[in-house]
Amino acid sequence: MNRVVLTACCGAICAGLALLTPAPVHAVPEVNILVANQDTPAAKAAASKADGKTIFAETKLFKAIDKAVEVITAKKHCPLPKKQGLPAPACTLTPNERYLVVNIKVAGGEYTGKGGKGGFSVPEIIEPDTTLRILGGYDDAFAKRAPFSNPTTIPAGGTVFALEGKNHSLKEFYLSGFVMDIGGGNQYDAKTNSLLKGTSAGVQAVTIGYLETGRLVYADNVFLNSAHKAAAPLIRAANENAEVIIRNNFIMNNVLAWEADSARAKIIPATYTFEGNTIVLNWPYNPDPTTGNPAALQLAGKYAAKKFVIKKNLFAHNPGGAIYWTAPKEKDGPETEIVENLFFNNGSLFGENTPDAAVMVTKFGGFKSGEVPWNVISLGVLGDYAWKIEKNVALDPKVPIVMVKPGFANSASVSAENTVLNEVRGLLGMNKQGNKMKIANFAPRMGIDPKNLPFPAEEKAKPYGANPERVEQF
């Protein structure tokens, strides 16, 4: 092999070579906190790997979070702006001093909060140069993670993970590999097999406040049995390229399953991507076709993000429809791509019974009144609108879950009884519309085996939705 050795250069030639020479790549320092239940093989492996410097071992997840905060706050920091809205002073730290990645790696098993109850909170962190990852599903050697076959479960009857405070900031926040079933905080009617919304936990599985970040990722999780949204992350975009990625999750049996929005700050996320998720049997706000917020995935208006990408998801058996378009016109919201998704049997709340029904549910014109019927758009005519629609399919994925026939009621058709008592109710400003509506099987609690998740049995459906092979390794 011939080699050319450049021994000298001058003037413009040297300047040109300098431009062509890539800048040196600095590896970002990483700290790993290994978590496993006490007296398990994983706990022994974690203890053997710990060096007290870049690897730590804990037997409680809440203690691992405390250790992560300790490590993050101990690092050197670039100066912050003296006043909000002003540019920050120049940072003189080297990349090795400035940036940090902290991974909390949690072995498979069941984990609870302090005292054996509750979820987990992360104290306010203002570290715009730090990445925090909370990762579940690791094997006993912490060599590989497989959260869909070796699950890390958190049986909290309320919020599982919460970022405290109002000013927290991170370069990246990544939450992946947890089974979050918050149905333990709900109440159910034994007679009707229905969720009792008024006395159930009206919380989300994950809350992050208005985290300022350049990248938010929720991946490889199971969100189950929330009475009021699985999650609705509202980030403040740290820069023009900020992104939200919701990928490879099971989102099942939640009321108002997911709200795609942001904090709508001065800078909004460049993209909000919803990719490769299984969205099955999620419920509208009320068991009533006049309800607001009917569909499983709610896309907020033009200031939520510059672009929505809805790709390779599986939407099936969602009574209120698959996607709720909230903007008053099809061109008013963010640029939107709906590509390579599978839709099946959505929209039973509206009496829809074709495989491709209720891909999009909207009220064009901005009408919010329950008297204005929903525009329920099937896959067959979705291409008539201004969204980018490509390569979507409608077929039965044959997800192995027990289906019950919900009983819905239309509040507009309930007649009032003309009685003195009803007139008294009117004088008191109470509902005069009359009788109670009879409902059945509205958002009943779903139980699943976290080691045997309902992946599609239909071969043609397997490229869509969550997939163990797409779990990212760290």
Length of the chain counted residue by residue: 474
335-391 confidence digits (pLDDT tens): 999 999 999 999 999 999 999 999 999 998 777 677 778 999 999 999 999 999 999
Residue 212 has pLDDT above 70, yes or no: yes
59-117 confidence digits (pLDDT tens): 999 999 999 999 999 999 898 888 777 888 999 999 999 999 999 999 999 999 999 88
Q: Which of 191-200, 225-234, 348-357, 427-436 has the lowest mean pLDDT?
A: 427-436
Distance between CA atoms of residues 350 and 270, nearest Å? 34
Side by side, which strands form the sheet with 206-207? 120-122, 161-163, 206-207
229: left (phi over 0), alpha (psi -120 to 50) or beta: left
Q: Report pLDDT for 437.
A: 55
317: left (phi over 0), alpha (psi -120 to 50) or beta: left
- Element holding 14 (H helix, E strand): helix 11-20
State pTM to two decimals.
Answer: 0.88
**Distances from the Cα of 280 to the Cαs of 318, 442, 455, in angstroms?**
6, 14, 11
56: nearest Cα among 38, 76, 25, 33: 33
